Structure formats: C-alpha cells, structure tokens
C-alpha cells in the first residue's frame, strides 16, 4: 500500500473541526480546494508509481481516497478533490 497526502482547505463543513465558521469565512476563496500544481504533481507521482509498480492499475478499485479506505478515521481528500483531474 502506498499513501499519498495532499494539503488543502476543504468545504466549511469539512473544516468544522479545524476552525470556526468565522475563521473559515476569512479565507481567500482562491485558497480553498486543490491547486492545479497539486494535480500536476500528483499525476507525475502516479505515473512514476505506475511505471515502477506495474501491478498497480489505474482504476478506482486500486486508487482510493483516505475517506474510502478508512471512513471512520479519515475525511480526505474530501468533496473538493476532482478525481477527473487524475484520470477518473
């Protein structure tokens, strides 16, 4: 198993345990969610992983979010993550 972590600010609801609604409302909306640079870097990393580990297939059965793998413990990547930007 390989775990990949990306840092991003989620929706107000997703961030409710990390900050107050007032704090969230002060965040520049451009800073919420994942950046194009993060998606580009993630795609490069995934391509490298696929090349080095041919048993790993590019499909949603093998590539899952932490929230799918451990839903009782994890909430990421969250609803703002665009799976289409990594080919799903």
Q: What is the pTM of this model?
A: 0.91
Rounded to whole angstroms, the Cα distance separating 71 from 75 reads 7
Per-residue pLDDT of the chain (88 residues; tens, 9 = 90+): 899 999 999 999 999 999 999 999 999 999 999 999 999 999 999 999 999 999 999 999 999 999 999 999 988 999 999 999 999 9
Tell me the CA distances in angstroms from 44 to 40, 53, 84, one per residue in order. Answer: 6, 14, 15
pLDDT of residue 5: 95
Helix (H) or strand (E) holding 87: none
Residue 6: CB atoms within 10 Å: 13
């Amino acid at each position: 198993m390989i775990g990949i972590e990306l840092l991003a600010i989620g929706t107000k609801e997703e961030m409710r345990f990390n900050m107050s609604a007032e704090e969230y409302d002060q965040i520049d909306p451009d800073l919420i969610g994942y950046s194009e640079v993060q998606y580009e870097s993630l795609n490069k990393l995934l391509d490298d992983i696929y090349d080095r580990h041919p048993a790993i297939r590019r499909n949603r059965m093998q590539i899952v979010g932490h929230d799918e793998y451990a839903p009782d413990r994890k909430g990421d990547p969250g609803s703002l993550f665009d799976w289409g930007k990594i080919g799903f």
